[in-house]
Structure 1
Amino acid sequence: MTDWPTPEMVTTNGVTIGVYRMGPEVSAASKPPIVFLHGFPEIAYSWRAQMTAFSEAGHPVFAPDQRGYGVSSAPEGAAEYTMQKLTDDLKGLLDHYGIEKAVFVGHDWGAIILWSLPFYMPERLLGCAGLNVPLLPHYPMDPIEMFRARFGDDMYIVRFQTEGACEPILERDLMQTFKFFLRKPNKGKPEKKDVPFEEKSLDLLGLLEMGPDAWGGEQLLSDKETAVYAKTFEKNGFTGALHWYRNFTANWQDQRRFLVDGKLPKLTLPCLMITADLDRACPPAIAEPMAGMCENYTRVDLKGCGHWSQQERAADVNAAIMAWIAKI
């Protein structure tokens, strides 16, 4: 694998974003640029296999440590992490690199941002490819209240809402935290012990505190790779990353301005959705509505794969995106 590059520090939209680049210059490339968006609790490094494969295939590729993560700025206050702010950061990066339009690929929270881009900056998109988290219809009620009513107060997104309450738990032992999050199902099989939380509560923080014997599954990455995450999170901690969750309600309210007759308008640009059948947090069933929400839609289902699909099944993810991108 090509060595992981040193980040370029780009100042835009009031913050400085660390951007990892590989491949040819945009002006010299015959293939479209690709921007990879990481999720929680990740960093641009999560895309190392995709960055290598697509740069070697001739694409200019970019992976930012997004606002609040990695080497990038982590401004204070939840209001600095709205969807408008996060998408404006990406628009600023395109402007900085002279990119008129790009293909965006997102995983987990990066996919939530990805599926917002067609509404916040449609003029800058060639296509959208999402991993594990699909485009969802507009929630019928405040999502935090909906999560609380369905899963209870211990549900991780509900617990994340209180600033300062969760950070000490996640930051107590960073290696332990990332060994907890970055796991895969044992031998790619759906076993009860592989479920990474109590299904009724989704109390990830409680499970983290119970220790490895309760986690199920197996460690996805080597200790050396896991240490990259732990070391990187020493800079900003988890507050900025958790602020993304603390804007669920504000983003839901802001999304209303895009609704037509109470619904999000149908997407017309090329869309790819990659699901993983052993992803307990985001099972493939939640992607079912996408077929009716996108006109130019491709879906690929990975069998025997958990949540961290671009790292767990890099070759399959790369092949799916390669085949899709060749048609757009």
Structure 2
Amino acid sequence: MSHNFGVVAALRDAPDVVIVVFTLLTQLGDFWWYLSVLTLAYAFAGVHPRLRGERVRERVAFVIAVALGALAVTYLLKLAVTHSRPPGAETARDLAWLPPSLDPVWRSLATSDSYSLPSGHATGSAAIYGAIALVSRWGSRRLRYGGAAALVALIALSRVVIGVHYLGDVLAGLAVGGGYLAVVWFATRGRRVKRAFSIALAVALVGMFATLTPETAAIAGATLAGRITWTIVGGRLPAFSTRTEGVVTAVAALAGAVLAGGTAFVGDASVVALFVAAAGGITLILTSPLATERLLG
């Protein structure tokens, strides 16, 4: 393909250790990873002294909104372009030294199906790690931006190294993710979380009405729930939490993350069920600090 530049073919003979390392690295760009980390950050935001304050949870909620919007943009473009993945993307490299019991796990990590353009990992990484660098207050701005750029570049490269994307796919993903973050940041300045969810919802609804699939329905449910829930809980979240409250909040929020993120692994459920499940999961995540305060307070 013209946008491949021969990179995928050149990497087919890379040593096993290179493929394994980049297969593990690529998980840092997977939606399950984003959602898990952001959920825990949101839950424990009121516990650690450096993470206390309503604005901390507000900033994490902003990144969650960006994550959902980036996911919506990715599926909208994938279904519009319908570009195939490189040959062999659905087949993992055989590792003779790998125990047979781990072979299914390896294959699930090292392969991808569905459409290819843009790369969801590149799109999501550019938007989410970029958003974290923008809203975080840790370290210097140069360190945050440089670290985010390096991590995003490695995640994008990993998709090419393991052979599940063409180089053009990841370059397009970086442009789409960075562009989406720029639009959201310009419109919200990182403070108007409700507006960030509104932008994500608008994209998700376009995707769902353009092509109704389990994925587009779940994303629409998640973004709608985020928009409605933040209208209710935004500004009412506790700024301080005990460690016990943090743990209870984390358990509840992670249950929400499993409910929302698990929709990606349910093949036979109806689009309505996935819409409701994703909406319920995001609602549980965003309301968990307030619910825990009411329960234990």
TM-score range (shorter-chain normalised) is: under 0.3
**TM, length-normalised to structure 1:** 0.25
Structure having the larger proportion of residues in helix? 2
TM-score under structure 2 length normalisation: 0.26
Structure with more relative contact order (C-alpha pairs < 8 Å, separation 6 or more): 2
